[in-house]
Amino acid sequence: MEIEIRPLRPDDDRSSFSSGDVELDRFFRNYAGQNQFRLHVGVTYVASTAGLVVGYVTIAPGSMVIDRLPRRERQRLPAYPLPILRLARLAVSTTHQGQGIGSRLVRFALEMAREMARRFGCVGVVVDALPEALRFYARLGFFELVVEAGALPSRPAPRPMFLPIGSIPGTDRASSQ
């Protein structure tokens, strides 16, 4: 199966995309387009095969305060807000899950983070992971960020996870010295 990863286009058919997660499907159908083409608050990249969209990842630049990093990751970082790339949404259609497409979309976003680091600065990638996807991201090297005391809701909610830029294969650690 030949998979192409490319920016969402206005004429992509998003109406039938179904990942099994109602919120992620609604976002893709109703908001991904306007967010990208009119509001410019994020860019969605789709995995497409034979003209069919089978997955998407939405990314946007953001910032993070150093206090959210575990102590071992804080070394030498300044105390002002740190530039990050946010992996805002990720979903693969139910018919194509378990075939490596989600991992490819994440790796594609990691490449974007490396590009951002080279051009504008980026200390890593942040994702608010759904509880059922925590292990998926952990396998890709993400770890959980520090959550402020009292900030954890009682019901299962997305958990912020982080992958430092230096952990992305191919990133030149020496260049950040």
Ligand X SMILES: CC(C)(COP(=O)(O)OP(=O)(O)OC[C@H]1O[C@@H](n2cnc3c(N)ncnc32)[C@H](O)[C@@H]1OP(=O)(O)O)[C@@H](O)C(=O)NCCC(=O)NCCS
Give CA separation, 2 vs 12, 47, 51, 56, 122, in Å: 18, 10, 11, 16, 31
Residue list 68-97, contact with ligand X (CB under 6 A)? 90-92, 97
Give CA separation, 90 vs 32, 73, 106, 109, 120, in Å: 12, 25, 8, 10, 24
Site string for ligand X, 101-140 (x = CB under 6 A): xxx-------------------------xx-xx-xx--x-
How many other CB atoms sit within 10 Å of the CB of residue 174? 6
**CB 122 to ligand X: min, Å:** 20
| Cβ nearer to ligand X, comparing 96 with 114 | 96
Residue list 20-39, contact with ligand X (CB under 6 A)? 20-21, 24
**CB 113 to ligand X: min, Å:** 16
| Cβ nearer to ligand X, comparing 2 with 132 | 132
Q: Which amino acid is at 119?
A: R
Cα 32 → chain centroid:
14
Binding site for ligand X (CB under 6 A): 19-21, 24, 90-92, 97-103, 129-130, 132-133, 135-136, 139
